[in-house]
Amino acid sequence: MSVITFTNHKGGTGKTTSCLNCGGFLNNKGKRVLVIDCDPQANASTALGCNPQEERKNMYDVFMSGTEEFEAVALKDVIVTTESRIDLCPSSLDLAGAEPYLYEREDRLQVLKEAIKPILRKYDYILIDTPPSMGQFVINGVVASDHVIITLDNGIFARTGFEAIQTIFSDIAEITGTPVSAEIAIITRGRMIQEAVTPGEEILRGFRRLLGLKNDETTSRQQHDEILTFCEKSFTNVFTVPYDIKVHEAQKRGLPLSDYAPNSRAAVVYKEIAVAIEKLNVKKRRS
C-alpha cells in the first residue's frame, strides 16, 4: 500500500480536488482507498457527501488522543464509508483547536504516522488532504507519507510557493533523517481559455489590443507555460488539469468525477494521474 499526501501551503491550488478525484479513479480500479481529511475546513469531507457536524468522532479526536485527559481514539474509530465507496476519516472545524496541543508533544511530528500504522494492511492507498498552511497537520501528513504530490495553480506566486515547500521538506528531512521529495506535480485550472467569445467580449479584447494591453487569456497562457517549464525541471511527472465546471458539480453532489462525470475534461487527466500513482506504488515495491 501507499500513503500519499497532497500538499501546498497556498490555498486554492486544488489539493482537495486532486486528492478526491485521484482517489475516485483508484477506487474504480478496485483499489481500497481511504481519504484522511487533515484540513479544519473539512472540504474533503463535505465533497464526499459527509456532514462533519453529524459525525460523532473525527480527526480532531484522533489528534487529541493521548493528550492530557482526552480519551484514546483510533483512526478505525472515525472511518465512515461514503456513497462513492471511498472510506473517509472526516475533519471538522474543531481540528484547528488541536494544533496548539501538538506543539506540547514530543512526538508531534509522528502522531498521524503512528495512527495510520494499525490500518495499513486494510487499504491499497491512503490519501491525505492537508490544509493551506505551514502548520503541524501539513508536517504530519508529509512525515506519514510514502509519496508527496504537490498541487499548484498557474498564478505568479506558484514557483515561490513551491520553493517554500522545499524548505519545509528540508527541515523535515533534517529532523527525521528521512529524505522528502515530491514525484508528481499537478497544475490545476490550466489554460483558462474560453471556448466561446461573445461579440461584446471580442470588442473589449480588440480595444485592449489597441491600448497595448494583454488580454486575460494571454496572460494566463504565459503564466501556465512558465510554471509548466519550471515543474518539468523539478518533477518526474507533471500534469495540467483544465478548468472544468463538472468538478464543482461533482463536489456539490458529494461524488468524485469518476462517479459523476468520468469522461469530462478534468476527469480524463485525473485518470492519468491515478495511473501514475499506481506506478509509484510498483516502484516502491520493487525498491
**What pLDDT shows up at residue 130?**
95
User: What CA–CA distance (Å, rounded) separates 251 from 213?
Assistant: 36
Determine the distance from the C-alpha atom of residue 4 to the mean position of all C-alpha atoms in its chain, rounded to a whole number.
Answer: 9
User: Region 27-34: what's the mean pLDDT?
Assistant: 97
Percent of the chain's residues with pLDDT above 70: 84
| Domain limits for position 156 | 2-286
Query: Confidence class of residue 203 from pLDDT cuts 50, 70 and 90?
Result: low
Q: How many CB atoms lie within 10 A of CB 196?
A: 5
pLDDT of residue 192: 41
Report the CATH number at residue 62. Answer: 3.40.50.300
Q: What is the mean pLDDT of residues 236-240?
A: 91
Task: Give the end-to-end CA distance of the chain in Å, rounded to a whole number.
Answer: 13
Average pLDDT over residues 116-130: 96
DSSP assignment string, the chain = -EEEEEE-SSTTSSHHHHHHHHHHHHHHTT--EEEEE--TT-HHHHHTT--GGG-SS-HHHHHHTTSTTPPP--GGGT-EE-TTS-EEE---GGGGGGHHHHTT-TTGGGHHHHHHGGGGGG-SEEEEE--SSSSHHHHHHHHH-SEEEEEE-SSTTHHHHHHHHHHHHHHHHHHHS----EEEEEEEE-----S---HHHHHHHHHHHHTTPPPHHHHHHHHHHHHHHHHHHH-SEEEEEEP-HHHHHHHHHT--HHHH-TTSHHHHHHHHHHHHHHHHHHHHHH-
Question: How confident is the model over 43-61, as pLDDT tens digits?
Answer: 999 999 998 878 689 999 9
What is the model's pLDDT at position 36? 98
Say how far apart CA 181 and CA 29 lie, in whole Å: 26
- Number of structural domains in the chain: 1
pTM of the model: 0.86
* Residue burial 233-245, b: 16+ Cβ < 10 Å; e: rest: ebbebbbbbbbbe
